[in-house]
Every structure is written in C-alpha cells, then in structure tokens.
Amino acid sequence: MKGKLLVITGPTSVGKSAVAVAVTKDIGGEIISADSVQVYRGLDIGAAKPSMSERETVPHHLIDLVDPNWNYSVAQYQRHATEVITTLHQEGKLPILVGGTGLYLRAVVKGYAFGEDAEDELLRRRLRQEVKEFGAEALHSRLSVLDPQTAARLHPNDLRRVIRALEFYEKSKQSISEQMNATPQENVYDTLFFCLTMPRELLYQRIDLRVEEMLAAGLVNEVRGLLADGVSPEAKSMQSLGYKQIVAYLSGERSLLSAVTEIKRDTRRFAKRQLTWFRREKELIWLDLSKYSGNADLVGDISKSVAGYLRQESNN
C-alpha cells in the first residue's frame, strides 16, 4: 500500500504557509517545505519563510538546509524530501508537502529521475559568459532549437533556468522536457493535492503588498549582510526573485525604486507561470480563497477532506 501524502500548493503570496500550519494543527502531521529558496540559510525575508512561531507550532522540514553559496539541485531536494517522508511514514505521521516550486513537487510526487551528472559548474560559467558576450536572447534562441517545449515556458531573461536547461542538454544529451514527458504517470504516494488560488487582480495586489512588507522588514539589510558574509552575487540563491534585484541596487546598477518595481513585476510573472504549471497537473483540487469568508472556513473544508482521505486507508 502506498504511503499517504498531503500537498498544499499555489502561486506565490496566495497564503499557503498560514493555511498549511492551520490545517496541520487540525489534522496532525508535519510540514515539508517545497520551496527552492527556503532551503538556503540566511535568505529569510525574501524567501517568505514561515515565522518562528509557525515553526514552533508545527514541525517543519527542509528549511535552512544549506549554505547560500551552495548550488542546491532538484535532485538533492527529491532525495532529502523522500528521506523525510519515509521517516514520517515509519513514525505513523502524515507528511504535508507545502510550497510553490512545481518542479520540486513533481520530483517528489512522481519520482522524477534527475541525473546528478547534469550539474557542471565550468559549463555553467561558460554559458554565463556567453550571455555577457551575445545576450540573453541568443541563449534562449539556442534553447528553442534544442528544447522548444522548455524554451516556450521560459522568459529569455530567466537566465538561471535557461542556462540550467542548456547545461542539462549538453551534459545528458537529452532535453529537460523529454525527461519531464517521461515522468511516470502513477504517483509514488497516495497523494491528496490542493492548490490555493484567487482572482488574478487580488493575487497581484497581495504580491505588491508582500514586496512592500519585505522591504519594511529589512530585505535590503538582509541582502547586504549576506554579501558581507561572503555570499557570491552569482550564487544560485542570490539569483532568486527579490535578492537578484536588491544585489543590483547595492552594486549601484540601479535605483531602489527600479529594483522594487522589477521585483513586483517579475513576481507577478512568476505567479502566472506557476499557475500555468499547476493547470497541467490533473489531480489538483482547486480552492479559490476569495469564495471563503476567512481562512477558518477554508481550513475546515480542507481538514474535512483530509479526514475522509485518511479514513480510506483504514478501509483498505
């Protein structure tokens, strides 16, 4: 019998963490973060990590996992998440995967096989140099020839993912989309999958508000401190949304106003890409937060569904 796994996902700023904590308090279990930025120590404000009070309320895993100079991969995440899930199942606890990094979720739920040998720092540096010499469009055009499916879902300025896709192809001689299409259709776990959403305009308002709250909470000083502690501006962690733009501001490449405007714009674009990704996942139960009077009603509905889902196990 497959082990149970609850997944709560949704676009950035929709409110996943608060809902997940409340649901976990209701039904028990432990949360496993599925966020590609929250794995890095010291990236707190810009990563919108759960508060310390939330982490004290219910156990959280895979937060503050690695040094910010580390090039943490989805293959490593899959291995770490699978280890936690196995341990929780052995302890009779429900694993609750929470986050918006679609590739992390798919890697765990589908058992997607990534080749570790596709990581190559020297090749990555060469591709970055090509960006400086020929521009981002040139690399994106090359990706369009080698892997049109991946290129179609990536903006040319999403350099980290474009470079990653080219790196993957050159090392494995196979495109990322080919591997994704070969992902097993059957889930590794008996999975109940919720996706939180809301009307686009409301979501965009929440995104803008969150960015302002991050600035007020000290995002600029957080980035300044990371750089002072020796974190490379070129590190994968520092190419994340919010951090990349503040690094550019601190280096004198742009004004703070320009950096903040770009963070808001790019975060809205990111949320749109997330929703596009989630719509491809057929098994998601979509929950529109705007149709609930508050989180309590939403949490109640999720908890009832989870209770029924857990009872199915005892009937098998």
pLDDT of residue 156: 87
Reported as a single tens digit per residue, the pLDDT across 52-83 is 999 999 999 999 999 999 989 888 999 999 99
pLDDT of residue 316: 46
Q: What is the pTM of this model?
A: 0.83
Reported as a single tens digit per residue, the pLDDT across 10-62 is 999 999 999 999 999 999 999 999 999 999 999 999 999 999 999 999 999 99
> Tokens 């999975």 — which residue?
191
Reported as a single tens digit per residue, the pLDDT across 161-175 is 888 788 778 776 777
Reported as a single tens digit per residue, the pLDDT across 256-314 is 999 999 999 999 999 999 999 999 888 999 999 999 988 899 999 999 999 999 988 54
Reported as a single tens digit per residue, the pLDDT across 169-198 is 877 677 777 766 666 668 999 999 999 999
> Tokens 């501001």 — which residue?
249
Which domains, from first to last, does the chain contain? 4-112+183-315 (3.40.50.300), 116-180 (1.10.20.140)
Full 3-state SS string of the chain:
CCCEEEEEECCCCCCHHHHHHHHHHHHCCEEEECCCCCCECCCCCCCCCCCHHHHHHCCEECCCCECCCCCCCHHHHHHHHHHHHHHHHHCCCCEEEECCCHHHHHHHHHCCCCCHHHCCHHHHHHHHHHHHHHCHHHHHHHHHHHCHHHHHCCCCCCHHHHHHHHHHHHHHCCCHHHHHHCCCCCCCCEEEEEEEECCHHHHHHHHHHHHHHHHHHCHHHHHHHHHHCCCCCCCCHHHCCCHHHHHHHHCCCCCHHHHHHHHHHHHHHHHHHHHHHHHCCCCCEEEEHHHCCCHHHHHHHHHHHHHHHHHHHHHC
What tokens does 108 get?
């765990």
Name the residue with higher pLDDT: 208 or 136: 208
Q: Is the pLDDT of residue 106 over 70?
A: yes
pLDDT of residue 180: 66
* Structure confidence at residue 129 as a pLDDT band (50, 70, 90): confident
pLDDT of residue 315: 44
Instruction: Work out the percent of the chain whose per-residue pLDDT is above 70.
Output: 93
Q: What is the C-alpha to C-alpha distance for residues 30 and 87, in angstroms, rounded to an integer?
A: 11
